[in-house]
Structure 1
């Protein structure tokens, strides 16, 4: 028998999925709570039971999505370390994890990128906080790579971490929008060569 906490979690997941799809399709302002409830297959009151308002729902949606992405990046880094891979290998695995996440949640990623540059939103501070959590995971691996002598000490860690994060986001969105016939392997291979050749300072892997 399904517990009340499991039921609530499933309901919130349905609301997240409905909201992100609708908002990606028609924008935040044009999306109503009624539409979110209908798309999720729940009563309107259920939305307000789980979230105080549409704004709170959207803020939590963005937080939830980027936290999932951050977890994916961390798991990729941890799995590489557990296999005895290098820190540059871990960065490469994180690129792959990021691409796979964006492939699975393209609408969420489109929303995140769109909202990142809008400074008048109520959720802007939340967005900056969760973005920094994702960046921090990359920064940690970069520091380890420098300490291990895998990367140059001259690397600007915060800027490089932001650049790697942005590279994955932009490349993945371009892939999804304009080159959907490409496989994740092809896109990952292209970004991997950039990482190995430009960041690592080594010859690109064959």
Structure 2
């Protein structure tokens, strides 16, 4: 894909995120997305067959960006890396609030189109957390019978909820203050399972 086409798709994604998070998927039209992105309606159809394909690609793009952001700090002992991954999730949501809201409100719908996105979140984003929990199990720091998939989902969901609460109700609080509380909760989780 050319850099120009990639830039156009990104503008379409950003416009769609804003509109869908404000009005919902059903109330957002292709014309509105094109207008917000500053392109002709035909440009949307040149890049995607319609709103459903655009939305599916948007969700894939958003989840991939989140997962990349979460994978970036993975270094050091697994417990330290896990705390940094949760910080990265907080930071991403703080920066990409509309996308996070979209993931929460639209992704968990029923239907085949949304199922793929939920699976991608589990495999890519939650998978970063679950992988570190697997490492802690392998090192004997967590019990062998711990369901790391469920535990990874719980930690991911906790941070997602905390981040949205932070950005909605306490946006003046610094990221590090919020992360300190998440770190304390993580330490309690790890200590309770040793």
TM-score band w.r.t. shorter chain:
over 0.9
Output aligned runs, 1:5-154, within 5 Å. Answer: 5-77=2-74, 80=75, 85-120=76-111, 122-133=112-123, 134-154=125-145
Q: Which moved more, 1:110-119 or 1:181-190?
A: 110-119
Give me the whole-angstrom Cα distance separating, in 2, the residues matched to 1:30 and 1:156. 39
Give me the whole-angstrom Cα distance separating, in 2, the residues matched to 1:194 and 1:154. 21
Q: Which runs of 5+ in 1 are unaligned?
A: none
Q: Number of matched residues?
A: 192
On the 8 A contact 2:122/2:153 being kept in 1, the answer is no
Give me the whole-angstrom Cα distance separating, in 2, the residues matched to 1:182 and 1:123. 36
SS at match of 1:76: coil
Task: Compute the displacement of 1:54 (Å).
Answer: 0.7
Q: Which residue of 2 aligns with 1:164?
A: 155
Instruction: Please report the TM-score for the alignment, with normalisation by the length of structure 1.
Output: 0.88
Task: Tell me: CA distance 1:44–1:116, structure 2 relative to 1, closer, same or farther (3 Å).
Answer: closer
Runs of 4+ in 1 over 6 A off after TM superposition: none
Give me the whole-angstrom Cα distance separating, in 1, the residues matched to 2:79 and 2:191. 7
Q: Which runs of 5+ in 2 are unaligned?
A: none
Give me the whole-angstrom Cα distance separating, in 1, the residues matched to 2:56 and 2:108. 15
Output aligned runs, 1:163-202, within 5 Å. Answer: 163-201=154-192
Q: CA RMSD in A?
A: 1.6
SS at match of 1:150: coil
On the 8 A contact 2:25/2:106 being kept in 1, the answer is no
> Which deviations, in whole Å up to 9, do the C-alpha atoms of 1:125-161 show, x marking residues without a partner?
2112211222222211111112123333342211111
